[in-house]
């Protein structure tokens, strides 16, 4: 009896801990997967959607949000982001850097997370840059602003790895005399698209040898022999995972020929490409992409920034969709990720997509591409309570995000944000004034022309011991990443 009692108490406590129920009622509910419900309601209990429909009554203690005149969509998903990465998005030193992992350098305090959240984004596929043929390991995050790095990671989402084709990975390095004190550095292989394919083929060949080495070792151990264990190689392990289907390949690509070449290499080496990223000439080879089973994550109308994107069209997303490819629209940008819904709207203008098709490109389709469509991407019973409330239809560029929930927890509220801004500005002024006062006091103390307090006479401020060199300014990194 006592046991039953304590178990009951525990259950009650758990329910209280896991969060409350939220009922958003009387809104236009854009489910994406099952059409639009006018004057609909959505109930979220313990982080999961438990009811979607017209007449849902609020359970006791539920928070009720009046959605009258407002629009509710699933949380937006960005299949190509470089937000919240500390210390460089590219490990571009080698042509295969699959040993590096974005997971290691997530920065949960990157303000761009909050800004993206304010645009309705709830999930991001955070990728390594495109400086090399095989870049680093990637990670899917939920934009749980205020939480720690480990709590951003999307539980159960398959991790990925970045591949890159074309101009960026075939760069053989930079005119290094400009950057290494007059030293000409040894150039990086490859220098052509052929070389990029060769590099990938070579790396997978090594991965297979590595796989075989470990298999042999394990067999020898099983037989009671005493072999020396092979070295655990962080570069080859993720490629073995790709071969075993445990890690997704997200391949940066533009031109039709390089897309086909990678499909051939993948078929030859026995792995699958999960998504082609950017894929601006995807409309030319959409059937082949669909046949391989790959998704395409592209821009709505962003092109003209380099030669290899010369043959782009804003109809790309619509054409690929009609040829049977699962298509998403991504941001690749801290700015664009704040209004992916407006990018989705462009596919209605360019290509005549339906509203549901357009919204799916920034919700359900990227969820499918990332293998998380059983958990997010649409407003359905059983999925996570990742929801966005807008004042107008999200496909209108007059729409504004009012509230955002992830797993039923509110992470953004426009009214609260406006209030917070006043407080933050006051705090900032307070700190600046204090600093100024201390400076003035030091000046008075040291007399006119005296030194400030504790500063150094010459030279730049001492570098912090734990951050890597700032490297090139962000735009350059972005350029390489695009």
Instruction: Name residues contacting other proteins, limited to 125-154 (CB under 8 A).
Output: 128, 131, 136, 148-150
Token pair 């590595």 is at which residue?
210
Residue 59 or 227: the one with the smaller Cβ distance to other proteins is: 227
CA–CA distance, 224 with 314 (Å, rounded to integer): 62
Nearest to 261, CA basis, from 154, 405, 163: 163
The stretches of 280-400 forming alpha helices (DSSP H) are 286-292, 316-322, 340-349, 355-360, 364-369
Given 2, 38, 466, 475, the residue binding other proteins (CB under 8 A): 466
Chain residues 207-236 in contact with other proteins, contact rule CB under 8 A: 226-235
At 212, phi and psi to the nearest 5? -65, -40
Q: Does 181 bind other proteins (CB under 8 A)?
A: yes
Tell the smallest beta-carbon distance from residue 343 to other proteins (Å).
28
Q: Which of 13, 184, 209, 441 binds other proteins (CB under 8 A)?
A: 184
Q: Does 196 bind other proteins (CB under 8 A)?
A: no
Q: Which residues contact 7 (CB under 8 A, 6 or more apart)?
A: none
Residue 322 is a binding residue for other proteins (CB under 8 A):
no
**Which residue number, 58 or 149, has a Cβ lying nearer to other proteins?**
149
Bridge-partner residues for 44, per DSSP?
22, 49
174 touches other proteins (CB under 8 A):
yes
Cβ closest to other proteins, residue 61 vs residue 447: 447
Which of 15, 240 has the CB closer to other proteins? Answer: 240
Q: Which is nearer to other proteins, 55 or 469 (CB)?
A: 469
Tell me the number of residues near other proteins by CB under 8 A: 83
The Cβ of residue 272 has, within 10 Å, a number of other Cβ atoms equal to 15
| E strands in 94-173 | 121-126, 134-142, 160-164
- Give me the DSSP letters along 353-378: --HHHHHHTTTHHHHHHTT-TTTSSS
Element (H, E) at 298: strand 295-298
With binding defined as CB under 8 A, does residue 441 bind other proteins? no
Contact segment (CB under 8 A) with other proteins among 32-40, 63-71, 85-93, 295-303 equals 85-93
Q: Is 176 in the site for other proteins (CB under 8 A)?
A: yes
Hey, which residues between 88 and 117 contact other proteins (CB under 8 A)? 88-94, 97, 99-102, 104-109, 111
Q: Could you tell me the smallest distance in angstroms from the CB atom of residue 118 to other proteins?
A: 17
User: What distance lies between CA 84 and its chain's CA centroid?
Assistant: 9
Q: Quick one: tokens of 118?
A: 């304010």
Site for other proteins in 375-414 (CB under 8 A): none
């Amino acid at each position: 009896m006592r046991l039953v009692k304590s178990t009951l108490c525990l259950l009650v406590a758990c329910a209280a801990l896991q969060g409350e129920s939220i009922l958003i009622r009387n809104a236009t509910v854009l489910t994406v997967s099952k059409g639009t419900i006018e004057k609909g309601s959505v109930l979220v209990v313990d982080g999961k959607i438990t009811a979607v429909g017209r007449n849902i009554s609020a359970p006791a203690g539920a928070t009720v949000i009046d959605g009258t005149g407002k629009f509710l969509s699933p949380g937006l998903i960005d299949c190509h982001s470089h937000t919240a990465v500390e210390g460089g998005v590219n490990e571009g030193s080698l042509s295969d850097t699959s040993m590096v992992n974005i997971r290691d350098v997530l920065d949960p305090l990157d303000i761009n997370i909050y800004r993206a959240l304010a645009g309705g984004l709830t999930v991001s596929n955070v990728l390594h840059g495109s400086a090399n043929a095989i870049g680093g390991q990637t990670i899917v995050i939920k934009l749980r602003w205020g939480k720690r790095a480990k709590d951003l990671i999307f539980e159960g989402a398959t991790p990925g790895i970045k591949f890159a084709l074309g101009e960026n990975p075939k760069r053989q390095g930079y005119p290094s005399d400009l950057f290494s004190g007059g030293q000409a550095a040894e150039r990086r292989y490859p220098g052509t698209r052929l070389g990029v394919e060769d590099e990938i083929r070579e790396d997978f060949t090594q991965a297979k040898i590595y796989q075989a080495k470990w298999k042999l070792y394990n067999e020898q151990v099983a037989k009671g022999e005493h072999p020396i264990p092979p070295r655990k190689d962080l570069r080859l392990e993720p490629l073995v995972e790709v071969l075993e289907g445990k890690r997704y390949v997200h391949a940066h690509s533009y031109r039709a020929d390089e897309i086909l070449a990678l499909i051939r290499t993948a078929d030859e080496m026995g792995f699958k490409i999960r998504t082609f990223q950017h894929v601006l000439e995807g409309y030319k080879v959409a059937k082949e992409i669909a046949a391989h089973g790959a998704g395409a994550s592209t821009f709505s109308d962003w092109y003209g920034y380099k030669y290899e994107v010369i043959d782009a069209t804003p109809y790309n997303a619509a054409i690929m969709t009609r040829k049977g490819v699962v298509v998403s629209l991504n941001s690749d940008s801290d700015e664009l990720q704040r209004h992916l819904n407006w990018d989705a709207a462009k596919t209605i203008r360019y290509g005549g997509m339906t509203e549901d098709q357009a919204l799916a490109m920034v919700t359900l389709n990227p969820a499918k591409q990332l293998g998380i469509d059983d958990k997010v991407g649409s407003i359905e019973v059983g999925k996570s309570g990742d929801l966005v409330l807008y004042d107008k239809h999200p496909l209108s560029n007059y729409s504004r995000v009012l509230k955002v929930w992830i797993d039923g927890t509110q992470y953004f509220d426009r009214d609260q944000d406006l209030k917070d801004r006043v407080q933050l500005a006051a705090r900032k002024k307070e700190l600046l004034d204090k600093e100024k006062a201390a400076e003035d006091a030091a000046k008075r103390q040291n007399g006119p022309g005296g030194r400030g307090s504790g500063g150094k006479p010459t030279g730049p401020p001492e570098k912090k011991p734990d951050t890597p060199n700032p490297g090139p300014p962000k735009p350059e990194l972005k350029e390489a990443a695009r």
